[in-house]
Each structure stands twice: as C-alpha cells, then as structure tokens.
Amino acid sequence: MACFFSKLICYESFGKKEIQSVTEVMMEFWARLLNVVLAIAIGCGGVIGLFYLANIGINALPKPWNRRLLPWVYISPALLLLSAYLILPTVQTFYLSFFDGRSQNFVGVQNYIFAFSDPAMLEAFRNNLLWLTLVTGVSVSLGLIIAVLVDKVPYEPIIKSLIFLPMAISFVGASVIWRFIYAYKPAGADQIGILNALLVTFGFEPVGWIVEQSVNNFALIAIMIWLYTGFAMVILSSAVKGIPEEVIEAARIDGANSWQIFWRITIPMIRSTILVVSTTIIILVLKVFDIVFVMTGGNFGTEVIASRMIKEMFNYRNFGRGSAIAIVLLIFIIPVMVSNIQRFRAQER
C-alpha cells in the first residue's frame, strides 16, 4: 500500500501524466485491496480448516493414539518455525565454521585455532571476562543493596522508578547518551562532555574517557551497569518483599541486628533469585556488542567477542571465522542458559 501512495505522489509531481495515471492507479489500488482481503480470507480460513480437519481426523483414531498425537499436531507449526529460524541457522553456522572465508574450501579447525590464538581475539576474551565480572558483580550487588535499603521507605517507588528508568533505553540509545557524557575536547577548549566539564571546573586536565586504554573499558562497562542495575533491583526487591515477616521478627527477638539479618536471612532466602538475575545478566553481557560498536568500534583495546564476530563476518567478509566465533560464543552461553533455566524452574516450584 505504501508503494501505491508514494507512486500517486510521484505521479502528481510529474504534472502532465497526472490525469490519466490517477484513474489507473486507483484501479490498481482496488485490485490490490481485493487481493489482500482474499489472501487473508484464504490464509486464515485455510489454516483454521486445516486444524479443524486434523482435529476431526485425530479424534477418529483409536483411543490411546488420539491423546498421544493431538499435542504434536498443535505444536508442529511452532516446531517448524523454531527449526527454520533457530535450529537450521545454528547447524548451518556450525557447518560454515569449518570452511574458509568464502565458504568454499574445508579448512578443519583452523578457524577455531584462530578464535583462540589471534591477538585481537585474546584481547576480546580478556575484555569479556572483565565485562562479566564487573557488570554482573556490580549491578547485582548494587541492585540488592538498593532493594534492601529502600524496602518500606515512603519514597521507595520514586527511587525505584528512577533507577529502573535506563532499562527503557536501547543499548544504542544509551551509548549515544554516554558519548556526550564522555566527550573530550583538548585542554583550554570548551568541554561539551559533562565529566570533563566537571574535571576542568575543579582544575584537573580533561580525560579522553573512551580513548585512554587505562579507563576506556571501565567507561564502557559503566554504561551497562547503569542500564541493568534497575533490572536487578526490581527482581531482587520483589524477592526481598517475599521473605515472610515472621522469620525476620523471630530473628529480631533472638537478638539479631540488621547486618546479621541481611547476611543470615535475606541473602540465603533469596539466593535462587540472585542466581537467576546473575545468570540473566551474564547472558546479556556475553552478547554485548552495541555499546562497544557505538562507542569505540572495538578500537583502543575495547574489542569484545561479539563485536569481533560482526567485524570478521561483515567487515572482512570472512564467513568461516565469523561463524567459528559465533559458535564459541554459543558454547559459552549454553551452560549459563541451562543453569538459568534450572534455577528459574526451581524457584517457580
């Protein structure tokens, strides 16, 4: 439809052609509209009919079989979609990871050797480890501390909303915001970045936050902590509120102070929630790419695994290496994912 409207505008701007074309275009519009209505009717009707028939067919089957087959009929579209969009691409990626850059010659495990020995990859592994420890550690502990401290305080909702707010911003959006915060101008020029403006006001030299290798990784990590502390806080806070009042009262009667209650009661009772939040953040951190891509493009020693994967795949068009890195990333994520799901199930029970 968009095509039709733009074409109409385009015809109008041509002037002379306008009159004869508009009727022609209107005809086409109605034809297309009819086409759409028919497509929806046949599509929807066809699928409903198909399921209806399958249902009748299965119900006609002998007793134990209809119960067994029924779920598969209903789950099959989902299974088909899942294999088309998840399983097949994964298998394909795994297959391609044993071929050269143009996916033509078999090269064995050479791409994996590259993935674990290339200096840029080693730097990416080191940085990812730093990201994992710092983002997970800081955002979960900060989230927990805030959740416990603001628990039952009158202005709790305001504080929590403020901290949760960055969650609504996309990684790219957040990175753009932080680019301004970290912006650098040489000493003597007007600083447009707030951090450097503060430094200069207090008489220090401006710092190239995303260029200086001693600070830039931490500067990027801070962005993700800013984004995900709110997420950890909200979930941990609901877990903290779920601790039965009687348990805490009993502890107080036994003479426990707040510190002891925090370590001996709160933490053990919400342990599985902490683990679920941590594993969720670990998975997010392993996939981190946008922040690095927007802030530094992987330069100045800030490369991470996912940004390296994108570079190998799309900048250098080396499908073998790109696929191998993707598989390495997948293998790292699987155990975390499994434990995340297990914990989540345990918690639900």
Partner 1 sequence: MLFLNQKILFNVPILAIGAVVGLAACGQPTTEGDDNARGTPQVTMVGVMVGEQQEKIEAALAPFTEATGIEVVYEGTDTFATTLPIRVDSGNPPDLAMFPQPGLMADFAREGRLVPLTEFMSLEDLQAAYDESWLQLGSVDDVPYGVWYRASVKSLVWYSPQQFAANGYEIPTTWDEMLALGDRLISEDKTPWCIGMESGDATGWVGTDWVEDIMLRTAGPEVYDQWINHEIPFNDPAVENALNLFGEIVRNEASVYGGMVSVLSTPFGDSIQGLFGEDPNCYMHRQANFIEAFLPAEINLNEDVDVFPLPPINPDQGLPILVAGDVVAMFNDTPEARQLMEYLASETPHEVAASLGGYLSPRQGIDLALYPTDLSRKQAEILNNADVIRFDGSDMMPGAVGTGTFWSGMVDYVGGTDAATVLTNIENSWPD
Contacts with partner 1 by CB under 8 A lie at: 28, 31-32, 35-36, 39-48, 51-52, 55, 74, 77, 101, 119, 183-187, 189, 208, 210-213, 293-294, 296-300, 311, 314-318
Closest contact distance (angstroms) between CB of 175 and partner 1 is 11
Gap between the Cα atoms of 19 and 6, Å rounded: 16
Amino acid at 79: L
- Between residues 173 and 208, which has the closer beta carbon with respect to partner 1? 208
- The three-class DSSP label of residue 96 is helix
How big is the chain by its Cα radius of gyration, in Å?
28
Provide, rounded to whole angstroms, the least separation between the CB of residue 299 and partner 1: 5
Q: Which is nearer to partner 1, 231 or 293 (CB)?
A: 293
Provide the CB-side half-sphere exposure for 148 (13 A, CA).
15
Min. distance of Cβ 315 from partner 1 in angstroms? 6
Query: Looking at beta carbons only, is 192 or 267 nearer to partner 1?
Result: 192
Q: Which is nearer to partner 1, 269 or 310 (CB)?
A: 310
- Closer Cβ to partner 1, 4 or 94, answer by number: 4
Identity of the residue, 114 or 231, whose beta carbon is nearer to partner 1 in the bound complex? 114
Q: How far is the CB of 323 from partner 1 (least distance, A)?
A: 15
Handedness of CA 303, 307, 309, 314 (dihedral sign): negative
Q: How far is the CB of 296 from partner 1 (least distance, A)?
A: 8
| Residue 131 identity (one-letter amino acid) | W
CA atoms within 13 A on the CB side of 93: 20
Give the span between the Cα atoms of 224 and 116, in whole angstroms: 26
Q: How many CA atoms lie within 13 A of 154 on its CB side?
A: 0
Residue 20 Cβ vs partner 1, minimum distance, rounded to whole Å: 12
Query: Which residue, chain included where needed, has tokens 């979609």?
Result: 81
Q: What angle do CA 76, 77, 82 make, to 5 degrees?
A: 95
